[in-house]
Structure 1
C-alpha cells in the first residue's frame, strides 16, 4: 500500500492507494500552531492527527510514502518524525522537481526553484488536457497560475497572495479593520448585498466595510484571472482554439464563481495529489 502526501503551508493533504484498487478518499490534517506548540509536542499532535488516516480497515500501514513538500525545515522535520513514528517500516520519498518528466518541461532556468506542488499539478493537468494548451490555477495559501503549451512546455507562471493571505495582511497592517475582517462573508461574484439600493448593487459596490472588503477582493481577483486567461487564450490558442483551464486547491470553490464561464474551468480538487502519484510512479 502506498501513500501520497501534499505538505502545503496551510494543511497536509494525502490519500492511500492500494494496488488494483481506486484511491481512497483524500484526507486533510492541520499543522500544529507555531505559537502554541513546538518540538516534541508538535510532533505528538501531528502524529495524532495523521494516525487514523495512515492505516486501512485492517490496520495495515503504507510501505511506500511519497511526499511533495513546500514547507520550511521545521515543519518538514515535524512531518518526518511523525511519519517515522507511525510507519517505521515505510520508505519515505521526498519528491523534487526534475527538468523534464511526464511530458512536461519546466520553464524555470533553475528548475529546482519551482514548487513541487505546482509541477505535480501541471503534469496531471497536461495528462488530462488531450494535447491542448493548459492553464493550471492552484488556489491555496498562495494562488499560482502556470501555463503549458500543447507540447507540455511550461511557458511560465504567476504567484498571487491567496484569499486568506490577503485578509491576513490587511489585519496585520491595518488593525483598525479587524472587526470588519471578522465579518467578511467571503468572496462573492461582483455584486453587492441585496439590502442596498439598485444603483449601488448594479455598480458592484458596498455600503458596509465587511462587504466592501469581500467585494474588493472579488473584483481584484476576478479581474486578474479573467484578464490573464483572455490574454493567454489569445496567445496560446489563436484563431478560436481551446485552452484547458484546471482549478484546484483549498479555495478553488471561491475562485470558480469569479471566472468568466466562457473559459470552461474544470475544478479538480485532487489535482496535486494525483500528480504526486504520477510523479512518484514515473520513470526518469
Structure 2
C-alpha cells in the first residue's frame, strides 16, 4: 500500500511518501504561485496512491485544486487538523482551530525528537513556537517574513528596489539597508524568543528552523538546526497517530 504526505503552503506543495516505519521518503517540492499545480502533480506523482494525508494553509481555491487532483488518483484522502492534544503534545491555544496546522505539525515533529524546542518557520509568515520537554506548548509569535517585509515596503514606496543587497550590521546604501533591516528584524525576533525561552525553561531549548525563507537567516543563527521537511515529518506523526486512534475519539 502506498501512502503519501502533502504539505500545501502559500507558495509550494511539498510531497513525500510515508514509509512503513513512519519515516518519510524523498521530498518533491512543486511551486504553485503561477498556477498549474494539478499538471505539476500529474508529472511528479505516481498514477495511483492508496492513501493521501494533506495539511494545507493555502487558500481554499488552491486547496480544492489539490484535493481534486488527489481524488483522481487516491483511494482515501485525510486532511490534518490541529488537535488540542496529540502524540504527547498539548497546545496552548484555547481554540485549537486558530493554531495553523503547519505549526501544530512541527510541534509533533519536535516532540518526537525529544527535549524542549523552539520552532521557527519562515515562509510567507515568520512563526515561532515554544515546546517544553514535557510536550506543553507555551505559545508563540507570528510576524511577516523578511520577503513580505521587503514587498510591503516596495508596495508603499515604489522607488525602493524589491530585491538585491548584502546583509550588514550598518549598511552604507539603500539596497543593503533594506535586506539588512528586513532580515535583521527576523533574526532579532528569533534571538529574543530564544532568550526568553531559555529564561522561562531554565535552559536553552533546541532551535529548529524550517521553510523556504530560512536560507538567508541560517548564517546568523549559529545554534539553529535546519529541518527542511519539518511539517512533513510532523504530518507523518499525525498520520501514524490517526491510524491508531480509537474510533470516536477527537
Q: TM-score, normalised by structure 1?
A: 0.80
Is 1:246 equivalent to 2:208 in the alignment? yes
For the 8 Å contact 2:53–2:78, the answer to whether it is kept is yes
Supply the distance in 2 between the matched residues of 1:22 and 1:235 (Cα, whole angstroms). 32
Matched, 1:93 2:78: yes
Q: What residue in structure 1 maps to residue 95 of structure 2?
A: 110
The equivalences for 1:39-50 within 5 A come to: 45-50=36-41
Contact 1:126 1:152 in 2 (8 A): yes
Take 2:239 and 2:144, find their aligned partners in 1: how far apart are those partners?
29
Question: Is residue 45 of structure 2 the alignment partner of residue 54 of structure 1?
Answer: yes
Distance 1:173 1:254, change over 3 A: same
3-state SS of paired residue (2:188)? helix
Residue 71 of structure 1 and its aligned partner are, at CA, apart by 1.6
Asked if 2 retains the 8 angstrom alpha-carbon contact of 1:7 and 1:71, the reply is yes
Report the aligned-residue RMSD. 1.8
Q: Residue 90 of structure 1: SS of its match in structure 2?
A: strand
Q: 1:19 to 1:126 in 2, by over 3 A?
A: closer
Q: Distance in 2 between matches of 1:20 and 1:234?
A: 37
Give the one of 103, 128, 135 matched to 1:145.
128
Query: Does residue 181 of the first structure (1) align with residue 162 of the second (2)?
Result: yes
Please give the residue correspondences for 1:115-264 in structure 2 after superposition, counting only pairs within 5 Å: 115-129=100-114, 132-177=115-160, 180-182=161-163, 184-185=164-165, 188=167, 191=168, 204-236=169-201, 238=202, 241-259=203-221, 261=222, 264=223
Structure 1: 5+ residue stretches without partners: 34-41, 192-203
Verify the 8 A CA contact 1:11 1:29 in the aligned structure 2.
yes
Q: Does the 8 Å CA contact 1:3/1:62 hold for their aligned counterparts?
A: yes
Q: C-alpha separation between the residues in 2 aligned to 1:231 and 1:46?
A: 40
Rg larger in 1 or in 2? 1
Could you tell me how far 1:22 is from its partner in structure 2?
6.0
Give secondary structure in 2 for the equivalent of 1:220.
helix
Checking the alignment, whether the CA contact within 8 Å between 1:8 and 1:70 is kept in structure 2 is yes
Most deviating of 270-279 and 219-228: 219-228
Tell whether the 8 Å contact from 1:218 to 1:258 is kept in structure 2 after alignment: no
Q: Following TM superposition, by how much is the alpha carbon of 1:24 offset from its aligned partner in structure 2, in angstroms?
A: 2.7
Residue 17 (structure 1) shift = 2.8
TM-score with structure 2 setting the length: 0.90
Listed as ranges, the gaps of 5+ residues in structure 2 are 246-250
Match of 2:248 in 1: none
Quick one: distance in 2 between partners of 1:273 and 1:231?
28
